[in-house]
Structure 1
Amino acid sequence: MTTNDEATTVAPATTVFDVSEFARTAKGYHRDEIDLSEFEKHGLEPDAARLVRVLRDLERSTMARMRNLLVTATHKDARVTAFLSTWAYEKFWLADALDAVLEASRAEEDLPADEGHHRLTASERRDRRGTIRRAISANFAGPQIVAAHVTAGLADEWITQAAYRRLSSIAGTLSTVVDTALQVKDRHLRFFQEEAERRLAASPKARRLSRTELLGTAWPIGAVERPAEERSFFERIVFGGAEGREEARGIGALISALPGMTGVGNSIEAKLVP
């Protein structure tokens, strides 16, 4: 007999986010919207350029993230997979826009090498699993793993949007680029939040899986593959100082306020603050 906790579907609910409209109005190719001559003339400050590079690489990591998601039961959820295809398309073009800024400014040439050893912490061991191990593990988790994926997506959006806002504060010339990115990502956040809240509220198993996912993830998603020094830079520039710590505290509070996530936000906040 199948219990409610093991059910293969989420309890029916009215959804607000229109996935079909999202696909019809996908935002791509932003280079025409950016005044690249500004960056050609004046370049970028090193910290701003380095944060642009980190964000570009995180946006580029989307396909690897899709691979990890789609070897699980998430690929059977039509609503989520329909969203993810457009989500990946939009993130590709955000990475391209950031790449255009780096090309025009030539700032990347003067940045420290984007390589080096990775952090090898026990708490992130799950995040380093290969595709096969993820598929096997997810088979035991069942369809409620979808809740863990959308909840992690929501937390990641809160974190990366904070990084974009920080980028705008340290380089005013990037305000148009940042505004474009935040407009695109706002729809991503709305979808993840709606799905996460609905799924977490519906199932104790979904809540357990989501807690495990959030506590074992390196933030932002994709950071586990980045060199340790680049991760330290991201944490320092985005969440260092009084304003950064307040931003991290706010993100932690938002996460802990999700159904069944009490206290999880405190752990993520601690990971974010250098």
Structure 2
Amino acid sequence: MAFDIDKYTATSVSVHWDDLDFEQFRTDPIPEGSLRTLRYMTDVEYHTVCYTRDLLTTPSHKEPEVSAFMTMWNREEFWHGEALAAVLAIHGITVDFDELKANRLKLGWKDRLDPIKQSVLGTLVGNDFVAVHMAWGAANELSAIAAYNRMAELEEHPVLAELLRRIAKQEARHVAFYTSQARDRLAASTRAQKFTRLALRKFWAPVGSSIMEKAEVVHVMNHLMSGPDGRKAAHKIDDSISRMPGLEGLTIVEDSLDKLGIAA
């Protein structure tokens, strides 16, 4: 079924948490290791604006449906960051934009060169780059859903679990868009299939890997994706990706966990 972009843009709203009793976090706080994972998730959500910035230099921005989606997607991801930051604030952890800006500055030339690299790649690949963008986005959003659901299951905190499930529900609509777009574009071009397969196999890494210290990436992956249940979640993501035209057999998530040394 085709994704209805008009319906999506008309019904896009920020995630709500005003009705949740955050005071429960004072009597039943989140463990330190889990707060570290939540902080990682918050930073990733807030950095969505950087991903959007980079992609605006590529052929993707010329596609009306993609541009409309990215506008709402960026807004929703920002509010995911706001919701998670509110949980951290109850635990005495403050996340603000000045600190995020400082983190971007630490990336130095890498941050300034990313839009240029994206633009050059988009020019070389042409319109088939949009298929790469869509499949990559699908992989990232599938990973986000898995991460939020795993966190909800592991913590068993009623307030946190409800908030994370609300965020995951919005992420599911993002997956629907990216997947629908990726399948159509891959099915229409064997060249797009080859570029996308190469890009995912060679360069995809867990969301946040490009902006966070490796130690933080390893912590989050160990927390959420280790052991039989974690690998089951990873396999589910890979299975969804490999069902797209030309991407059969890819195991990018499980491969990335192996590279990081995450125990199965």
Code of the residue aligned with 1:172 in structure 2: it is E
* SS in structure 2 at match of 1:220: coil
Q: What aligned pairs does 1:15-164 form with structure 2 within 5 A after superposition? A: 16-28=2-14, 30-106=16-92, 130-164=114-148
* SS in structure 2 at match of 1:17: coil
Deviation at 1:184, TM superposition (A): 1.0
Q: What aligned pairs does 1:159-178 form with structure 2 within 5 A after superposition? A: 159-173=143-157, 174-178=160-164
Are the aligned partners of 2:148 and 2:168 in contact in 1 as well (CA < 8 Å)?
yes
Code of the residue aligned with 1:240 in structure 2: it is S
TM-score with structure 2 length normalisation?
0.86
Code of the residue aligned with 1:272 in structure 2: it is L
Structure 1 vs Structure 2 CA RMSD: 2.4
Gap regions ≥5 residues in structure 2 = 104-109
Are the aligned partners of 1:59 and 1:94 in contact in 2 as well (CA < 8 Å)?
yes
Whether 1:268 and 2:253 are equivalent positions in the alignment is yes
Q: Report the Cα distance in structure 2 between the residues aligned to 1:231 and 1:222, rounded to whole angstroms.
A: 7
Q: Deviations over 1:15-39 (max 9, x none)?
A: 6222122112112152313321111
Query: In structure 1, which of residues 245, 249, 269 is the aligned counterpart of residue 231 of structure 2?
Result: 245
Partner of 1:3 in structure 2?
Answer: none
Query: In structure 1, which of residues 174, 181, 201 is the aligned counterpart of residue 167 of structure 2?
Result: 181
TM-score with structure 1 length normalisation?
0.83
* SS in structure 1 at match of 2:14: coil
Partner of 1:199 in structure 2?
Answer: 185
* SS in structure 2 at match of 1:31: coil
Are the aligned partners of 1:46 and 1:107 in contact in 2 as well (CA < 8 Å)?
no
Query: In structure 1, which of residues 225, 231, 242 is the aligned counterpart of residue 217 of structure 2?
Result: 231
Code of the residue aligned with 1:235 in structure 2: it is M
Code of the residue aligned with 1:222 in structure 2: it is G
* SS in structure 1 at match of 2:18: helix
Deviation at 1:253, TM superposition (A): 2.0
Gap regions ≥5 residues in structure 1 = 1-14, 117-125
List, as ranges, runs of 4+ consecutive aligned residues in structure 1 with deviation greater than 3 Å.
126-129
Deviation at 1:239, TM superposition (A): 1.3
User: Structure 1 residues 255-264 or 231-240, which shifts more?
Assistant: 255-264
Are the aligned partners of 1:30 and 1:94 in contact in 2 as well (CA < 8 Å)?
no
